[in-house]
Each structure stands twice: as structure tokens, then as C-alpha cells.
Structure 1
Amino acid sequence: MVVAQDVAIIPKPVKLQVTSAKDRFIIDQETTIIPETVDAMPAAEFLKDYLKKYYGKELTINPRHNSFNAILLKLDKVDSKVVGAYDFRSKKNNVQIKANEPSGLFYGVQSLIQLLPVSGRLEEGVASVSISDYPRFQYRGMHLDVSRHIFPVDYIKKYIDYLALHKMNVFHWHLTDDQGWRIEIKKHPKLTEVGAWRNGTIIGLFPGTGNDSLRYGGYYTQEEVKEVVRYAADRFITVLPEIDIPGHCMAVLATYPELSTTPNEPKQVAQTWGIYNRQNNVLVPSEKTFAFIEDVLNEVMDLFPSEYIHIGGDECAKKWWQESAVSQQFMKEHGLKDEKELQSYFIHQAEMIVNKKGRKIIGWNEILEGGLAPNAAVMSWQGIKGGITAAKQGHPVVMTPSSQMYFNHMQSAKEDSLTAAGKAITLDSVYLYDPVPAELTAKESSYIWGGQACLWTEYISNTAKVEYMLFPRLSALSEVLWSPKESRNWESFQKSLPSQFKRYDLWQANYSLEYFKARKLDPSTYGLQKARKS
């Protein structure tokens, strides 16, 4: 007999009711997927591919099939006006998903996937339930740094699939940094000929125990970028590209030393981590620099249709501008009273370039320094203060405080894998985080666009380690960003975890067992495979 607490869907829906304790919908070879309009095809194709890949069952998509033994995807009015809302009904003879627009159908399909047997045996059936659901936040993001370590296009697609399966809708792609430039810019081919490659990487935790002296690098061609953007769009995920300026530019300066405040000093793509304030990695303010920024951003905007372009803006060490006669003269000529205003000048220039094409900029919270650009959004990573300040000024905010949302940090105090130093970011600390600061009024809170977690890859050199750091924390994050605050419950979430871990096994995904270790639980008693070492 099925009861509501036995139905484990992550993220937790707004409303879920078991409508029959006995009846189950069995997907078999005769089951048909019925997209009633062409707009329902992305959801239909995703479901078909999922069933074939993980259950070995290839279903037919037929818009004109009758509704018996079928999965119906229909654009129709649902009560909620929130983008992504859907209604779901499964019963003995069929499954019906309806939504106001296509993304809602796609999210309804993700709930159906969560109802599929984690054993891999479809004959166990889908419980009879009724769901009305919609997301709490319109920005539900996950970040991946490909500068420190780069991953193949096929894996980027898999990463996007993981996000889609959790009803996330933004993939923040960190494409440039001191340790490598990862995107082809046709007007500046040297960026990938030189800036995409470093001549070694430190060994171990910073400052390291040596250097491996191995050439490392790579980049994504523009055709590959277009392929990723299309793939994500089919999953209702926006790819948010990040081109980090005016700091974190060592890969740029190794390629074009003339864009540095010290053009005559030799430079190379960074081989170590944590070089902020240790090496000169900032751009010099000059017409040549701003022309370069415009060239890059114009090509980036041609590749990415996202409303926002991430321009970084973080960790700009002011000392390099202070020591630069050219920078000081530029500040004097442009009436800039200090280096914070110079940093703001860079951000304003980037915003003007982006605005000319009808786009907007988003940057890390340091873009508040020296005055925030008029139409900018802020990503708050140094705690929540920057997000609060931006929201009070009426700017859109994405909350990603490093103390809870940086998934490159250890998952327990006794982590058995090399990770970034600092406090442990445990599964419960992720789950219990709320993106809306208590200090904000209701009106100010409306500027909290949503949240995201970041995965910086200094110590993540392979895809198994990516997944080890991602799971199960991504599942907790998805519920933080989708489910109503009042319905989230840590104890209830924990009851859903055994099924979710089995789903990771079904996906053949790697994951951390720290949740079990911290509670002295034996994962094998839950029927889980042993997580691979990372």
C-alpha cells in the first residue's frame, strides 16, 4: 500500500496527494508518449531518452495516439501563473501532465522520472498521485569552473542533464581565469593558442608540494559552445557564460602582455591556485584593453543568447593599479578618486558593451565597490552582505555565499578526499540555507532572484571527483531553490535520500558517502553500491 510519505520526489512538490493506495501505472513496450503540440516535444524526447538509457525501454512518441496506456503532455491552463508550474496526475491507465508553457511540462516529466522504480524494473509501476507544483525561485543555478580543470563537451552535457533532473534552470559556465582561457575567440586566436595552456600545475593543497611540470589545457570551439547551448536549451536551462575581468586575467596577460600594468615583465598562464594579490593579474585601463573587452564580449554574446552575461569583477587586487603610473594617469584623466572607482569604471564599460546588444551584466559582489552599474545584477559570494546591499538598491540578486554554497569545500570535518581548505559544507548546512536574508523587507526580498552553488575545480581534476563533490548536495540545493520554504523539512528530506542515492546508482554517478559516515550508518544496508574513490 502506498502512502504520501512513501513517495519521494526531490525537490519536494508544493502539493502531492496519493490518489490510490493500490493502482499503479505500468510502463511497458506498448506505452506511448503523447506530446499534444510541438512545444511539448523537448519534454517527450527527454523522457524517451531517459527510459531507453536507464531502463532499456524504447517508447514511441505519437501525438495522435489514444490516451490509454499513455503519457500525455499537454499545454493547458493550470492554477499557478509561475513560470515552470505544472499539474500531474498518474493513475492505472495513464499519466497526464499539463502546464501553461513548455518548461512546466519538462518539470512534470522530471517528477515522473522521480516516481520511476529506482530498482530499474519498470514493472514495479508508478504510484497513483496528484501533484500541483511550481518553483519558489526563478533562478536555480549551478556553476562549474572549467579554467582550473577542463572537462569534455560530452561531460558538460551530462552535467547539464544532472541539473535538469533536479529542475535547475541555469548553468553558470566559468570559462576564463588565471589558469586557463577556455573559449575560442576568432578575433583573438592567440587566446586559445597561448592562454588555454599552462606549463604545469601545483601538486597537492596550496601552496603545494611541488609542480608536475606537465603541459595542461584545452578549450571549447565556438561550434562546441553552440552545441552545449542548444543542448541546455532543450532542457530549459540557460547557459550563463562568465568572462572574468578586470582581475583573474593571467591567461589573458600571458597572451597579450601589453594589456598588463607591467607589459615588459614576463608572464605565463598561472600554474598555482590562490594567486590573488600575489601576482599581477589585472588589466590595465587603456583604449586597447577596452577594445579587447568589446571584441570578446561581442563574440560571447553571439554565442550565448542569455539575457545576462557574467563579467566576473571579483578579487581585483588594487595594489597593481596603485603601482602603475599608466593606471594612475588614467584615473586622473577620468576623475576617478580611487582604485575602487577604477574597478567600477571597468564594470561600467563592460555594461555599456553588453547593453548595446540588449543584454545585461551580472557580476560577483565586488562590483558593488566604487558604485554599481545601473542595470547590473549581483552574485553574492562573500557572505550575504553584498546581496543585501544590492537588493536594497533595487538590483536583482543571486545568493551563493561561499560558507554554504561552495561545493568545492569538504563535505565533513573528516573528509577523505583532497578539497579546498575551510569549513565543511555538510548536506544539512546546504539544505537548511535560505536565500532570502531576514534583514530584507518584503519588497526588498522580491529582488532575490534565486540562488546557486559553485563548483571551483582547483582540486577537481576528473569527472568522478566532480560528481563526488556534487552529490548528494545538488539534491539538497534543488529543494532549497524549488520547494516552498514552509514545506521544507530536514527530517522528511532525509527519508527521501535512500531512493535518491539509488537513483545515483542507476545513473552510474559517483557520490560522497560522508552523509552516512557522519551518522555511523552502513550504506550497504540501504542497498547502495560502494561509491568510487575520488
Structure 2
Amino acid sequence: MIPLPVSARPGPGAFRLTAGTPMTVGPGLEGVATWLRDALRCPLPPGGRGITLRIDPSLTREGYELTCAPGALDLVGGSPAGVFYAAQSLRQLLHPAALRRAGPVGWDVPAVTVADHPRFAWRGVMLDVARHFMPVADVLRFVDLAAFHKLNVLHLHLTDDQGWRVEVPRWPRLTTVGAWRPSSMLGSRVHGRDDGRPHGGFYTSDDLREIVAYAADRHVTVVPEIDMPGHMQAAVAAYPHLGNGFDGGVRTTWGISPHVLNMGDEALRFCRDVLDHICDIFPSELIGIGGDECPPGEWQGSPIADRVGLHGVQPWFTALMADHLATRGRRVYGWDEILAGGAPAGAVVAAWRGPTPTTVAARLGHDVVSCPDIKVYLDYRQSDDPGEPTPVGTLLTLEDVYGFDPVPPGLTSAEEAHVLGGQANVWTEHMEHARRVDYMTYPRLCAFAEAVWGAPTRSYESFVERLPVHLARLDALGVNYRPLAGPRPWDARPDAPGNPRTLPDRLAELAQMTADLPRP
């Protein structure tokens, strides 16, 4: 199984699972039962001795026990989430054909006793739908695959310079204008190529509610992100008065736009309106406000810069948004740039610029999610093979991802407690559709899932031995994963050249980028 359970003891015989196998469902588990019947394509009628779903409060919340013997199959969890993870393990015990949506029903489940629980509470994956829009059906499929690997957070990056993907009723031009761009770059921005094809799309409020509800049924929390006050060119293109004199369109090139929000009353009202709308849709306690890569140049000489200093504008803004979210019972989730100048109390930091920000945040007493680019950015190239599509970033192999540990060395036990877990990030500048997302994400996300679920003493050799069977499961689920042998001829993108980086160069760059972080 992937992720590998804490313990699994095989027994003699097998349990025969058929369409007529009865299922007893304990209180509070009706949702898990409905999902399991659909996933197995079995009616599993109530009553009788067969499958049992129940909660055992003595287990940890996401912990579970799966006990399979010839006469009975018990799925027990510390909560509905734990029972759900037991059910996902059950799916992996079946023949891969059982994961298909058609075909005969009736499989043997090998006798086994599994006792399992995750190491980290936050096992997340971020999906960027701003650079390349993904239809609702593709997002739901992305959630299903994440849940299959026992990940429990979907960080949804909804806005950026290149596109605004969520309707906001009071600000309709965000989607009539900001959701569309006339073209996109082909490959890395250093080559200056353009495809000349319009691109866009957005989610209605009902679309987003559907995603939230679908994810909740799979015990995945959707954490939305509206990037502010930088990465806002799409919004400023829609409403130029929110900017600082820019009157151009939605950004068509990758990279960081210098065009940011002004800090006037109308821009602040806009931000509060958007966050209120997001809070109405997403029940997540954490609301992402980005805060990354915000060039302050356009604020030079502004009244707020004169009052708090040019580099004090963003911390001032972040504190305002944190205070507003607090009125809605929510907390800020922001990239590690929010540490500069002092992150608001209660903020959770997404530490992406190498391993240093995780250490800084934990030592300052902030809860932190570790997502260093050199370990878990799944847009980074997977090998040096010239057939890799648009190779960018540093080399990030399957083994590199498997070796990721969210907790950096040198922390005290109290500081380690602030590390909530880890998150893999799927940035889509070079992933123009779901098939490309599959290729860049899997099987590296399988390795990541085991890294954030299991013990730090896990074995890559064991993972590689189990992986071929798991890839057969991904085949059954229709995943266009990268073959272990390397890219196929049709995976290449010769029209979209990349820009590979070396690790030493990137580490030097990260050291410079994080030089302004406080050193507790």
C-alpha cells in the first residue's frame, strides 16, 4: 500500500467481497458508507455479518484499524476521517481492476490486520488554477486522486497576474475581463515565445461550493487563496482604479508583475469584499491571502508609504486583512514573505523559499506548513532527459521528493510542534491541461504522500518495490503518470523550451531572497 501503513500483519485466507455483501454502518458514518458503495460499485445492503464500519474514540482522529478475515471485514477509525482512510486502504488491497468504473464486481480481500495513523495533520497539495484554468470536473478528479493517497488539504490558488478564477458579485469585471488573456507563453519566459491563443475561465459560486462539498465527502479541506496585494494584475486590468496608474490587460507572460494594488480606501474595500465572498463559500478556518513576491515600487511616495515606510506597507496591509478575517472567525494563511515585518498573531505560514523559513516561523511561534520549492514543487523537472516537457527549476526526482521531511533539523520539541505538516505545490505555467498535470504530479505525489504520512525512518527501497503495483492502480484510475523509465516521445514539448537550474545556484538565490527574514 501507498502510503505504507504503520503496521500490517497478513493472515490466512481471504474475505470474498461481492455485490451482495452486507454492511453494518455505525452512527455518523453514513457519508463514508455512501462513498464506499459508489467507489466499490457494490450495493452493500444493510444488516448481517460482512463489512462493519464503526468509530472507536480510543484511536487518534485520523487513525484507523482494518481487520480482514475470511468471515468479516472491519473498518474502524477514530473519526469518520479515520474510517474513510481505512476504506481507501481497502481499495488498495483489491485487484487494480476494482478501481475501474466498469467490469465485474467480486473480489477477494486478503486477510490482514492493519493499524495505521498519520504523522502529520496537514498533508496538502496546492493546485494553481490561475495560470491555466482547470474545469470543475478536472478539479474533482484531482481531489479524488489526492484523497486516494490520504492527503487531506487542497490549497486552491484561485487568482494571479495571469487570471482571476472566481466570480465576486459586487465586482463583475473580475471575470468578464480578469478571467481571460489573449495569449500565453510557450515555455520558460527567458525564450519570449507566445502561443497566440486566448485562454481563460472561472468558477461560479456554485462551482466552488460543489468542489468544497465533494472534497469534504472525501475528508479534504479546501483552503482558498486570493493572492494580495501583489500578483494582482488581472484584478487591476479589470478595475484600473485599484492600481497605481496601470491601464493594460491581464498579464500574458509568466513571472512577477510590478503592478500591484494601491492602498487606498477603495482597494481595501475591494479586498474585504472579496474575502467576505470567499468566507461565504469556503468553510475553511484558514483563508489564503498570498503575500508573496510583491514588488513595492509602485507604493513609492504614497501616503501610506510615507507613514509606515516603503517596506512597512505590506505588513500593514496583511495585518488589516488578518483583522478583517478575524471578524469572520478565520485566520490568515500566507506565503513566508509575511514573516518579514512580523506576521499577524494566529497566521499560518506556507514556507516555500527553501528550508529556512520553516525554521524561522517555528522559532517565532507561528504554525507553519513546510513546502520548500527545492523539495516539493512539482512543476520542477523530473530528470535531465531532454524529452522532459518544459524542464524548469532544479532537478526534483522521485527519490528527492520521497526524502522530504517537513521538520527541519535543529528545532526543539516545542518548535517542532508548530510544523503542521507538508504541502506539495503544483504550479501550472507549463501545465496546460489535466493530462500534463498528471504527468508532472504522479508518481511524485505518491512519494510525497508517504513522506507526510509515515515515519521519518521510511525506506525508499521499500517504496520502489511497492510502486509498480501502485502504478497499475493509477492505470486503472486513468492517470497519465510519468513512466519510471522516463518520458515517452509524446511527452516532450519541443515548442515550449524550458530553463533548467542547478541546485547550488538556487540555494544561493534562496539565501538572498530570505535575508530579510527575522532571525529569532
In 2: Cα distance, 1:112 partner to 1:227 partner: 26
The answer to whether the aligner puts 1:74 opposite 2:54 as a matched pair is: yes
Q: Give the alignment partner of residue 475 of structure 2, picking from 488, 505, 514.
A: 505
CA 1:394–1:145 in 2, change beyond 3 Å: closer, same or farther? same
Give the distance between the partners of 1:352 and 1:415, measured in 2 at CA: 49
Question: Tell me, what secondary structure is at the counterpart of 1:379?
Answer: strand
Superposed, 1:91-490 pairs within 5 Å as 91-120=69-98, 125-261=108-244, 263=245, 265-274=246-255, 276=256, 279-322=257-300, 325=301, 327=302, 329-333=303-307, 336-337=308-309, 339-414=310-385, 416-486=387-457, 488-490=458-460
Aligned residue for 1:192, secondary structure, equals helix
Any idea what the Cα deviations from partners look like across 1:215-259, whole Å, max 9, x if unmatched?
A: 211100001111110101111110000000011000011011111
1 CA distance for matches of 2:318 and 2:64? 39
Amino acid at match of 1:90: C
| Correspondence list, 1:14-29, <5 A | 14-20=6-12, 23-29=13-19
Instruction: Identify unmatched segments of 5+ residues in structure 1.
Output: 1-8, 53-57, 519-529
Q: Which moved more, 1:219-228 or 1:121-130?
A: 121-130
CA deviations over 1:250-306 (Å, ceiling 9, x no partner): 001101111112x2x4211000101x2xx4221111111111100000000000000
Say yes or no: does 1:10 pair with 2:2: yes
Task: Tell me the CA shift for residue 36 of structure 1.
Answer: 2.1
The match for 1:516 among 485, 488, 495 is 485
Instruction: Return closer, same or farther for 1:188/1:179 CA change in 2, 3 Å cut-off.
Output: same
**What is the TM-score of this pair, normalised by structure 2?**
0.91
CA distance in 1, matches of 2:280, 2:97: 44
Q: Which amino acid aligns with 1:75?
A: I
The one-letter amino acid paired with 1:254 is: A
Give the aligned partner of residue 6 of structure 1: none
- The count of residues paired between Structure 1 and Structure 2 equals 487
> Counterpart of 2:4 in structure 1: which amino acid?
K
SS in 1 for 2:29: helix
The C-alpha deviation readout for 1:444-498, integer Å capped at 9, x for no partner, is 0000000110000001011111111111011111111111223x11111111101
Match of 1:35 in 2: 25
**Identity level (%):** 37
Equivalent residues of 2:122, 2:152 under 8 A apart: yes
Letter in 2 for 1:10: I
Q: CA 1:398/1:24 → structure 2, altered by over 3 Å: closer, same or farther?
A: same
The 2-side partners of 1:87 and 1:496 are apart by: 21
CA offset digits 1:367-396 (Å, max 9, x no partner): 011111112110000011111111111111
Partner of 1:523: none
Distance of 1:517 and 1:533 partners within structure 2: 10
Q: What are the Cα deviations for residues 5-36 of structure 1, in whole angstroms up to 9, with x where unaligned?
A: xxxx111111211122xx01121222133322
What is the one-letter code of the residue matched to 2:124? G
**For 1:206 and 1:199, how far apart are their aligned partners in 2?**
16
Q: CA offsets, 1:200-226, max 9 Å, x none?
A: 112232234532332211100001111
CA distance in 1, matches of 2:431, 2:119: 31
After superposition, the C-alpha distances for 1:23-56 in whole angstroms (9 at most, x for unaligned) are 011212221333222x21222222222222xxxx
Distance 2:201 2:165 in 1: 7
Partner of 1:496: 466
Rounded to whole Å, the distance in 2 between the matches of 1:126 and 1:318 is 59
Contact (CA 8 Å) 1:409, 1:419: kept in 2 or not?
no
Give the distance between the partners of 1:160 and 1:432, measured in 2 at CA: 24
The Cα RMSD (Å) is 1.7
User: For residues 312-358 of structure 1, what are the alpha-carbon distances to aligned partners after superposition, in whole Å with 9 as ceiling and x for unaligned?
Assistant: 00001122323xx3x2x22223xx13x33111111111101101111
Distance change (3 Å), C-alpha of 1:415 and 1:394: farther
Q: CA deviation at 1:420?
A: 5.0
Structure 2 unaligned regions, length at least 5: 99-103, 493-520
Please report how far the alpha carbon of residue 77 of structure 1 lies from its aligned counterpart in structure 2 after TM superposition: 3.5
**Contact 2:36–2:87 (CA<8 Å) still a contact in 1?**
yes
Structure-2 separation of matches of 1:130 and 1:445:
31
Letter in 1 for 2:75: I
Query: 1:5 corresponds to which residue?
Result: none
AA in 2 matched with 1:33 = M
Name the amino acid aligned to 2:247.
P
Retained in 1: the 8 A contact 2:385–2:486?
Answer: no
CA distance in 2: counterparts of 1:375 and 1:358, whole angstroms: 11
With over 3 angstroms needed to count, the CA separation of the structure-2 counterparts of 1:314 and 1:139, relative to structure 1, is: same
The residue type equivalent to 2:69 in the other structure is K
- Greater CA deviation, 122-131 or 489-498? 122-131
CA contact (8 A) 1:510 1:532 kept: no
Partner residue of 2:507?
none
SS at match of 1:149: coil
Q: Over residues 124-161 of structure 1, what are the superposed CA-to-partner deviations in whole Å (9 max), with x where a residue is unaligned? A: 51111111111110000011100110111111111000
Report the counterpart of residue 498 of structure 2 in structure 1: none
